[in-house]
Amino acid sequence: METRIIHEKQDLTYLNWSKIRNSSGTAGSFLKASSELGGRKIYYKLSNYDNLRGVVGHESVNELIVDRLLTLLGVEHLHYQLIHADVLVDGKVLDTWVCASENFREKGEDKQALDVYAGNERQDGESALDFCVRMGWGDYIWQMLVVDYLILNRDRHGANIEVLRNKKKKTVRLAPLFDHGLSLLCRCETPEAIDNYDVMADLPVQCYVGSRSTVENLKLIPADKRPALTPLKESDKTILLEGLDDVIPRNLQEKIWEMIWKRWCYYEDFCHSGRG
């Protein structure tokens, strides 16, 4: 999956899509599919799908942008590919963009949602955050909270953090960060909504290990544990948005960059000001 964007339209009408609950509270649903290619399992996701309007969101594009962002920041994560494709949904062929990723589990590992795993393993009165720190996952969580602030990830519920276990080797680890579609300007569907969007608004989010505020979640990170991320530069805009001119509108690209850059500047100021 070295090529991150496949612009030439592919025929993916053979995929069988299943509906996944839209936990963001917006109308529509998210469709997922999988296939075996050359002995590798590939997972596919569509952006927000509406029975009447078809694919109306751009969550699949967000996955690629965040993939690029996390690469720049030096954060371990799942890689995504963006594919221009025909897909068959509800008997209709749709021309859309699909994101694809490979299986991140190693041989012998099984997966379990963090909320389920923690529910079985937490000590009495122990918070989800304290449990993760006790398990040695603090650095992972601190990075995740920063990332979710930068992109305003609305959907870091307990199943969007996965525990990978190898019972034979007796190992337990957290999966690389994944599933960032419900972030950035995910609910903006019109030019007016994009232009009027406040990129610094502290909108309510789901965060299994934190609060409903990504700003407040930054304050959960101990001052001496703030992640040593590779600093973002203004020139990184070109890397984040490369090849997207025929995928999403230019004004949406500009607003996404404005959001990421302003939030990065806020985070740097937060770290240097001694807040938290």
- The pLDDT score that the predictor gives to residue 40 is 85
Beta-bridged to residue 86, according to DSSP, are 11, 95
- Residue 20 has what pLDDT? 60
Distance in angstroms (rounded) separating the CA atoms of residues 23 and 166: 29
* Same structural domain, 257 and 153: yes
Same domain, 98 and 138: no
125 and 219 belong to one structural domain? yes
Look at the alpha carbons of 190, 179, 112, 124 in this order and tell me if their dihedral is positive or negative: negative
Q: Has residue 2 got a pLDDT over 80?
A: no
Mean pLDDT rounded to a whole number for the chain: 93
> CATH number for the domain including 143?
1.10.1070
Are residue 145 and residue 43 in the same domain, yes or no? no
pLDDT tens-digit map of 65-75: 999 999 999 99
pLDDT of residue 159: 95
Dist. CA 218–CA 271, nearest whole Å: 10
Q: Are residues 127 and 264 in the same domain?
A: yes
Boundaries of domain holding 197: 110-273
Residues 224 and 115 in one domain: yes
For residue 188, name the pLDDT band (cuts at 50, 70, 90).
very high
**Arithmetic mean of pLDDT, 21-31:** 54
pLDDT of 250 higher than 60:
yes
Higher-confidence residue: 189 or 203? 203
Report the share of the chain in percent with pLDDT over 90. Answer: 85
Which residue, of 77, 102, 127, is where some domain finishes? 102
Alpha-carbon 51 to chain mean position: 24
Residues 127 and 220 placed together within one structural domain of the fold: yes
- Domain boundary at 102, 124, 142, which? 102
Q: Is 11 a residue whose pLDDT tops 70?
A: yes
Q: What is the DSSP letter of 227?
A: -
Residue 21: the pLDDT is 47
Q: Say how many domains are in the chain.
A: 2
Same domain as 170, residue 87: no
Nearest to 233 by CA among 75, 73, 66: 73
> Could you tell me the pTM of the whole model?
0.94
Same domain for 163 and 142: yes
Q: What is the DSSP secondary-structure string of 74-111?
A: T--B---EEEEEEEEETTEEEEEEEEEEE--PPTT-EE
Spatial contact of 19 and 31, defined as CB atoms under 8 Å apart: yes
C-alpha atoms less than 13 angstroms from C-alpha of 172 in its C-beta half-sphere: 12
Does the pLDDT of residue 48 top 60, yes or no?
Answer: yes
> For the chain, how big is the Rg over CA atoms in Å?
19
Q: How far is CA 169 from the centre of its chain?
A: 29
Do 156 and 265 lie in one domain? The reply is yes
